[in-house]
Structure 1
Amino acid sequence: MIEISNLTFGYSKKKLLFKNLSLKLQMGRIYGLLGKNGAGKSTLLKNLAGLVFPLEGYCQLKGYRAADRLPGFLQELFFIPEEVYLPGSTAIQFAKSTGHFYPKFDEAYYFQMLAEFDVPQSSILNNLSFGQQKKVMIAFGLATNTNLLIMDEPTNGLDIPSKAKFRKIIAAALTEERCIIISTHQIRDLDSLIDSLLVIHEQEMVLNKSLEEIAERIHFSSSAPMDKELIIYEEANKIGLNTMSINDKEALSKVDMELLFNAIINDHKSVTNTLK
């Protein structure tokens, strides 16, 4: 389990990004982390990875505190930032020089993922396009087999076929011993991949629910319900309305994550109160 406890962080004490933020994340899940620009998504991921240090509180993985950056912690976490910088070596050389830091690194799986992404093993990494470099990092991160895999905007730079491959590969890589966190603005890219949703807003984690839990409480539709009092949020589209309403029936609808996010930004209490 990954735990964040009373996390308070700011790049200056006068302007905090988080204050007393707490949550627990479970293994065997793919979390989507959403938030407005500047809400602190990337910074939260860096706290989890031990790359920045909280003013108060802590992040913990398997009993290790992230800020201590002990070897046992670093071996169980891999972080793929939004901007990647790879060395002037081949993918094969990169595996030889870096893979040994991860006890469960699977070199054969790494090369298999490179082949899936159409990245030649002999290419000089820093000569590759940004999208190809992203694919190398995703392939390597998956091959480390760490308990926690963190990805910040992983689909940026990927073309449409590569995004489809990414979704397929990530879904297949999830195990009961692994937790995957993906921060993104491209909600539609990950619509069929994410099974749990995190939303950070106004220094708080206002949502931490599985899509199944959300669908049980909220009905998503392209038409308004007969009972207007059930409506939580509505948004005009080209042909009518997209609506969120209290689910008073047993039928489950597909969660519209973009609509849900917009509803939370508009009035997060009405959404979170429904989901309690």
Structure 2
Amino acid sequence: MLKSIDMDFTAGNIYGLFGKNGEGKSTLLKIMTGLLFPKAGSCMLDGYETGKRSVQSLQHIFLVPEDFELPGIPIRTFEKAQSCFYPNFSREQFYELIAEFQLSPTDVISRLSFGQKKKVLIAFGIATNTKLLLMDEPTNGLDIPSKSQFRKVMASAVDETKCIVISTHQVRDLHSLINHVMILNNGQVVFDQSLDKVSDGLWFGKPAADELSNAIYAESTFGGKAILPRLDKNETEVDLELMFNGVLTEPNRINAILNQKS
């Protein structure tokens, strides 16, 4: 159950929403689309309460859910039937993405594999060009080459007018894609930081023996990797999986270090 969630999302960012299974990530996305309703408070998009599901808000939100059913019609027919609801929809962009995913407009959706169906929905979601694009476990059902392809198309999709939120427990799949991390644990937001701030405040890698005492979090399964305060050390690439485990173990210490950088 979600508790006292207070989050702000701004355009121009790709957010990674992380958490263990059952932490409420899908519930949060459904609240943001108005499919579920909070017991208290509200979710707002450009001054409109999404829970009221007005045209003014719905035309600017698209959700790629984890579980879905698509009609047994050709991709081209699906596009024609659905695109009219989104004023900024780009047919050119959609069919470019369909080609990128090695699909054909004449493919009948019901005959596609689950991974291919998900690609259709991802391509459509990107092409809607909504202000808010939400994706729930988008890499589930995708093979390794397709996950790389997904990162490529998502990186090209973001601009200063869009906010993209990707919810997943497969942290590694969002490597090099997101620029802001939010982590849920025990129904609450325990981490809400940009990757720039993380890079500035934390160091990731295999420390020397005399540095282990300064480690905030260490894990032998990562080949002896650890998280340390960066201090005067060289900047390192953020290890998302190590950071996720570190935040679940030492949220207060990690947040304290990063908040000092504010």
Q: Given the two structures, how large is their TM-score scaled by the length of structure 2? A: 0.95
Q: 1:219 is matched by which residue type in structure 2?
A: W
- Whether 2:30 is the aligned partner of 1:46: answer yes
The answer to which structure has the higher helix fraction is 2
How many residues align? The count is 259
Q: 1:256 aligns with which of 239, 243, 247?
A: 239
Instruction: Please give the residue correspondences for 1:155-170 in structure 2 after superposition, counting only pairs within 5 Å.
Output: 155-170=139-154
**1:230 — aligned with what?**
214
Q: 2:113 is matched by which residue type in structure 1?
A: S
- Give aligned-pair identity as a percent: 42
**1:9 — aligned with what?**
none
Q: Given the two structures, how large is their TM-score scaled by the length of structure 1? A: 0.90
The answer to which structure has the higher strand fraction is 1
**1:21 — aligned with what?**
5
Q: 1:269 aligns with which of 217, 235, 252?
A: 252
- Whether 2:133 is the aligned partner of 1:149: answer yes
Question: Which segment is superposed worse, 220-229 or 137-146?
Answer: 220-229
Q: 1:136 is matched by which residue type in structure 2?
A: V
Which secondary structure state, in structure 2, belongs to the residue aligned with residue 175 of structure 1?
Answer: coil
Structure 2 Cα separation of the partners of residues 74 and 141 of structure 1: 13
- 1:85·1:126 contact (CA, 8 Å) conserved in 2? no
- Whether 2:232 is the aligned partner of 1:221: answer no
Which secondary structure state, in structure 2, belongs to the residue aligned with residue 244 of structure 1?
Answer: strand
Q: 1:179 aligns with which of 145, 150, 163?
A: 163
- Unaligned residue ranges in structure 2 (runs of 5+): none
Alpha-carbon RMSD across the aligned residues, in angstroms, is: 1.4
Q: 1:53 is matched by which residue type in structure 2?
A: F
**2:94 — aligned with what?**
110
- 2:203·2:233 contact (CA, 8 Å) conserved in 1? no
- 1:34·1:185 contact (CA, 8 Å) conserved in 2? yes
Instruction: Please give the residue correspondences for 1:1-40 in structure 2 after superposition, counting only pairs within 5 Å.
Output: 17-40=1-24
**Structure 1 residue 142: deviation in Å?**
0.6
**1:67 — aligned with what?**
51
**1:98 — aligned with what?**
82
Cα 1:250–1:28 change in 2 (3 A) is farther
**1:245 — aligned with what?**
228
Structure 2 Cα separation of the partners of residues 148 and 238 of structure 1: 35
Q: 1:214 is matched by which residue type in structure 2?
A: V
Q: 1:61 is matched by which residue type in structure 2?
A: L
- 1:105·1:145 contact (CA, 8 Å) conserved in 2? yes
- Unaligned residue ranges in structure 1 (runs of 5+): 1-16
